[in-house]
Structure 1
Amino acid sequence: MRKSCILLCKRFRMTNSANDAVLNATFKYQPPVNRNMHELDRSFFVTKVPLVVVHFPDPKNISLFTNKFKQEVLSLPRISRVVRLAADDSTNASAEPPLKKSSLANDNHIRKGVLLRESLNQVDELSKQLSPEAQQFMKENLAIAQPYECVLDYSFWKAEEIFRSILPEQFLDEIPSGFTATGHVAHINLRNEFKPYGQLIGQVILDKNSKVETVVDKTDSIDTKFRTFCMQVLAGKNDLVVEQRESNCSFKFDFSKVYWNSRLHTEHDRLIQKFQPGQCVGDVFAGVGPFAVPAGKKKVLVLANDLNPESYKYMVENIADNKTGSFVQPSNLDGRDFIRQSPLLVQQWRHRTAGQVVVPGGKRYKDSKTGETKRTESRSVAIPRFYHHYVMNLPDSALTFLDEFVGLYSRHSEIYEQIKALPEFQAPWIHCHCFEKYDATESPEPSMTELHSRVHARILKIMNTDDTVLPFESLQFHLVRKVAPTKPMFCVSFQLPHVLL
């Protein structure tokens, strides 16, 4: 199963000259420039660097020379100072790129040499520029100096360096080199000015990232109903069914038909840590299961719902693939309907299973006392009669669903009469994700406390209550991330007051 990585977008926000200075300080050489390239020509990106290589008949003198005369040998990032030479020719320059030392160590038939510092690029100048001590060492150990041509081709250059050599100069302040990887798909968000170069950019990203097999660009704004958006495949295979690992679980889904955000991995784990084994959780907007499936593995009882038929389909698959079917019950309802029916849904689950789920045994383990290999026994976990938590991960509109929790048990009075007398009964915690966007022209810029107060005011209005019932101090705020400089995403958590039940 493919591993994914998350690469934050790298932005160069300096002048062109400052950019050049930083890059040159890191690495002197840059690929050739062609700002009229519209289709990638890999053969164009060749730079030849004249150097001098020193060969010792006894290979151990390479390391001795390198360690003793560090200032005399090549020291450039990403170029190995140890190279291979033609076995039958000590005078011809090699046009092959340098090899890493590990590539050379296993072949006794390859003659090796060490490259001198880049300013020493003429053999006949060595007597004037090389230190007398280094010359004496070379003489004593029968060293041979010869010209060497180091060829830096397309495979050598980083993606950012390629982009700087082909994109128009006016775009070099913000190079679109960043992407989010989900399974084998790299997702980039190109601004309009970069759209004409999309296929070129996509191909370079594909070439430079070995785990990427498809590069896509978002072509429209996110759909408010299912949180999906149209995508254009810029490079690679036209296959958007991905496999993703997260929270020690595997997820399969069509990236173009469901909502998935790899940047929320930490947030998924944070909330899952709040759920205790044996508790009951209602996941109102479950997607393909990033909260529900890992919670099920933790032996949390989860009723997971999503309106999107594609999300529901893949959630069912992911529940089965991760063997959490005993603990996670999927549904395909509108979020409001799910909240309204949730007390009944957990009761129906209890009736189908006689109030408990079975954890299969058979897992091997070694007895710490006897040292014998044994197998675990099956055991039962009771399904709670009430919810401990609700998760509402639909930040664009989740707050607007909170009114459904007011009088949650008014439609299920018989169920409420049964559970309110239980000594362990407690009102559920609501974990609701939301945005609180503000105007960039606001002065002074609103503080986090002010933004939290605005969210609190919205909650009170939606739930038609006041701060005597749900005071500000009873809310817990967590900044998930900033999707834009003036658009923070929060998770607000609070325990539903009994008076609202």
Structure 2
Amino acid sequence: MLNLFRAPAAARAAKALDRSLFSNTLPTAAASIRDNRLISKYRKQLEKTREIFSLDRFDVCAADPDASLAAQGKKCLVLKPHIKPDVPETWSPVLQEASKLGELKIVPYEIHVGYDLWSYLDVMRSILPEDLHGEIPVGFNTAGHVAHLNIRGQYLPYKNIIAQVIMDKNPTIHTVINKVDNVGTESEYRTFSYEVLAGPDDMLVEVSEAGCVFKFDYSKVYWNTKLGTEHQRLVSLFKPGEVVIDLMAGIGPFAAPAGKKGVFVWANDKNPESYKYLTEIIKRNKVSEFVKPFNHDGHDFIKQGTDLVLEASRRGDCALVPQKVSRSAPGPRPEPIRIPVPPTVSHFVMNLPASAIEFLHNFRGLYEGREELFAPHTETKLPMVHVHCFAVKADDATPLDDICQRIDKEIGVLLTPGDDADKDGQVLIHEVRDVAPAKRMFCASFRLPPSVAFAPRS
């Protein structure tokens, strides 16, 4: 295989992609099958003897190399190069026996490998100087048809070729962009400046996740496909009929799936563009009965949203859910099921890892004077807070202690890392994903302490 994908000399250090250079021929052998009905039988047997040629995207069942036989529709099975047509000693007993029976004939064959069979890494190793082979850019975010790269340093001179090859090798990718600043530092709304490296500047994308469809302009709102598992993890904690306040909701990757399972979500985002697309996504995914969009500053919405939930409950607001009945059922359709909005919030989601912890002081006085809504007066517990954050990547307790100290600075309660977020004084710190060699994203979940919830509002 090494000979098959050897680097073309003319491709080395090229600044433009010439696909015609990536073409090689490998002499080998093939089993010319007498009767096409025997192909399946011998393919299975030769796969077991490991004599079938193997290469991604290469069809080992090919037209017979003899033009007259190929014209009759005859096929052959391409074999590995160590099998020599004129050296029967290189054949397995299966090939030798089949040849004696006249069911197949071992013949010379040439494998032609064009650019379409080269992998992304094979192409890039052929183009990049050898001292750049160690960290060839391979990872990228996607949003619909857009691939989002973060090419830096020595690889920048090759950015357009890298983008073109990525697009060639990923048929669903039609546009490749490169980020030119850091999300969350230059932009309040977690958007980023970018340059188009390949394809059209078309950032209107459509993504499916957790049974929901999201359509949005990727250049104007925040989206990270790599957080799909985290979205599902948190949504799985929400129970139907509960209220969740999603403070930094973006376009609704937590809110829309939660609404699908009958969870009330007050979904807020400060970015007007996120709010616009969130509103459309709520309608498109038919979760309007459960999910309400808002466009406020998250600092303010912690208390505003909580008060709005209580007001909605006292008004008797409900979600109306049609009952499922057969269309052929006689009589009038039954009344929809009324699911009342409860008076209290069960969960807060704060997915703004660069600064979400700095919002926590706004929870002081959240339920001032409303102790009667919670245990021991009722069976209702104070809300669970899920705050995303960044911390150093380490195998010891350093990041956990750092997160606890930062939370303490905001709410005046020093929590202890533990396995049970429901336990008084404990915080469950979940590792979400690595975002850099020395940086990791976490989610800290804890039950809001009574000393914070019932404190005087400032």
TM-score range, shorter chain: 0.7 to 0.9
Are 2:434 and 1:455 aligned?
Answer: no
What amino acid is aligned across from residue 85 of structure 1 in structure 2? D
Are 2:305 and 1:342 aligned?
Answer: yes
> 1:287 deviation in Å?
0.5
What amino acid is aligned across from residue 252 of structure 1 in structure 2? K
Say whether the 8 Å CA contact 1:198–1:234 is kept in structure 2: yes
> 1:163 deviation in Å?
0.8
| Partner of residue 257, structure 2 | 294
| Partner of residue 75, structure 2 | 112
Counterpart selection for 2:352 from 383, 388, 394: 394
> 1:275 deviation in Å?
1.3
> 1:154 deviation in Å?
0.5
In 2: Cα distance, 1:133 partner to 1:463 partner: 75
Q: Quickly say closer, same or farther: Cα 1:88–1:459, change in 2 above 3 A.
A: closer
Say whether the 8 Å CA contact 2:357–2:407 is kept in structure 1: yes
> 1:463 deviation in Å?
1.8
Counterpart selection for 1:423 from 342, 356, 378: 378
Counterpart selection for 2:5 from 30, 49, 52: 30
What amino acid is aligned across from residue 171 of structure 2 in structure 1? S
In 1: Cα distance, 2:211 partner to 2:331 partner: 25
In 2: Cα distance, 1:363 partner to 1:31 partner: 62
> 1:318 deviation in Å?
0.7
Are 2:441 and 1:489 aligned?
Answer: yes
Say whether the 8 Å CA contact 1:436–1:455 is kept in structure 2: yes
| Partner of residue 82, structure 1 | 61
Q: Quickly say closer, same or farther: Cα 1:409–1:118, change in 2 above 3 A.
A: same
| Partner of residue 12, structure 1 | none
> 1:142 deviation in Å?
7.5
In 1: Cα distance, 2:288 partner to 2:50 partner: 66
Q: Quickly say closer, same or farther: Cα 1:230–1:472, change in 2 above 3 A.
A: farther
Pairing of 1:201-350 with structure 2 (within 5 A):
201-224=162-185, 225-350=188-313
Give 3-state SS (helix, strand or coil) of 2:68's partner. Answer: coil
> 1:148 deviation in Å?
2.4
> Any gaps of 5 or more consecutive residues in structure 1?
1-23, 95-107, 439-444
Alignment identity in percent? Answer: 39
Q: Quickly say closer, same or farther: Cα 1:348–1:65, change in 2 above 3 A.
A: closer
Say whether the 8 Å CA contact 1:217–1:232 is kept in structure 2: yes
> 1:146 deviation in Å?
4.3
> 1:235 deviation in Å?
1.4
> 1:36 deviation in Å?
3.2
> 1:432 deviation in Å?
0.8
What amino acid is aligned across from residue 190 of structure 1 in structure 2? I
Q: TM-score, normalised by structure 1?
A: 0.79
Give 3-state SS (helix, strand or coil) of 2:207's partner. Answer: strand
String of CA shifts for 1:156-199, please: whole Å, max 9, x gaps: 11111111111111111122122222211122221221122111
In 1: Cα distance, 2:445 partner to 2:299 partner: 19
> 1:144 deviation in Å?
5.3
Say whether the 8 Å CA contact 1:56–1:141 is kept in structure 2: no
In 1: Cα distance, 2:338 partner to 2:244 partner: 18
Say whether the 8 Å CA contact 2:259–2:290 is kept in structure 1: yes
Q: Quickly say closer, same or farther: Cα 1:326–1:56, change in 2 above 3 A.
A: closer
Across the two proteins, how many residue pairs are aligned to each other?
Answer: 441
Say whether the 8 Å CA contact 2:323–2:337 is kept in structure 1: no
In 2: Cα distance, 1:210 partner to 1:489 partner: 31
What amino acid is aligned across from residue 405 of structure 2 in structure 1? A
> 1:61 deviation in Å?
5.0
Say whether the 8 Å CA contact 2:184–2:354 is kept in structure 1: no
In 2: Cα distance, 1:240 partner to 1:46 partner: 34
Q: Quickly say closer, same or farther: Cα 1:455–1:135, change in 2 above 3 A.
A: closer
| Partner of residue 361, structure 2 | 403
Q: Quickly say closer, same or farther: Cα 1:128–1:278, change in 2 above 3 A.
A: closer
Q: Quickly say closer, same or farther: Cα 1:381–1:111, change in 2 above 3 A.
A: same
What amino acid is aligned across from residue 282 of structure 2 in structure 1? I
> 1:344 deviation in Å?
2.6
String of CA shifts for 1:196-255, please: whole Å, max 9, x gaps: 211111111111112222222211111431112112222123211111111211111111
In 2: Cα distance, 1:130 partner to 1:417 partner: 84
Q: TM-score, normalised by structure 2?
A: 0.86
What amino acid is aligned across from residue 401 of structure 1 in structure 2? F
Are 2:157 and 1:196 aligned?
Answer: yes
Q: Quickly say closer, same or farther: Cα 1:64–1:310, change in 2 above 3 A.
A: closer
> 1:83 deviation in Å?
1.7
Give 3-state SS (helix, strand or coil) of 1:275's partner. Answer: coil
Q: Quickly say closer, same or farther: Cα 1:458–1:472, change in 2 above 3 A.
A: farther
In 1: Cα distance, 2:260 partner to 2:92 partner: 66
> 1:343 deviation in Å?
2.9
Say whether the 8 Å CA contact 1:227–1:259 is kept in structure 2: yes
Say whether the 8 Å CA contact 1:281–1:391 is kept in structure 2: yes
What amino acid is aligned across from residue 178 of structure 2 in structure 1? D
| Partner of residue 97, structure 1 | none
Say whether the 8 Å CA contact 2:424–2:449 is kept in structure 1: no
Q: Quickly say closer, same or farther: Cα 1:404–1:54, change in 2 above 3 A.
A: closer
Q: Quickly say closer, same or farther: Cα 1:372–1:54, change in 2 above 3 A.
A: farther
String of CA shifts for 1:1-58, please: whole Å, max 9, x gaps: xxxxxxxxxxxxxxxxxxxxxxx5xx66214421132221111110011223343433
Q: Quickly say closer, same or farther: Cα 1:490–1:58, change in 2 above 3 A.
A: closer
String of CA shifts for 1:80-114, please: whole Å, max 9, x gaps: 44320367535xxx9xxxxxxxxxxxxx9411123
In 2: Cα distance, 1:57 partner to 1:487 partner: 62
In 2: Cα distance, 1:500 partner to 1:298 partner: 30
In 2: Cα distance, 1:127 partner to 1:482 partner: 54
> 1:115 deviation in Å?
3.2
Give 3-state SS (helix, strand or coil) of 1:293's partner. Answer: helix
Q: Quickly say closer, same or farther: Cα 1:376–1:447, change in 2 above 3 A.
A: farther
Say whether the 8 Å CA contact 1:365–1:375 is kept in structure 2: no
In 1: Cα distance, 2:54 partner to 2:65 partner: 23
> Any gaps of 5 or more consecutive residues in structure 2?
454-458
Q: Quickly say closer, same or farther: Cα 1:364–1:84, change in 2 above 3 A.
A: farther
RMSD value over aligned CA atoms?
A: 3.2
| Partner of residue 426, structure 2 | 474
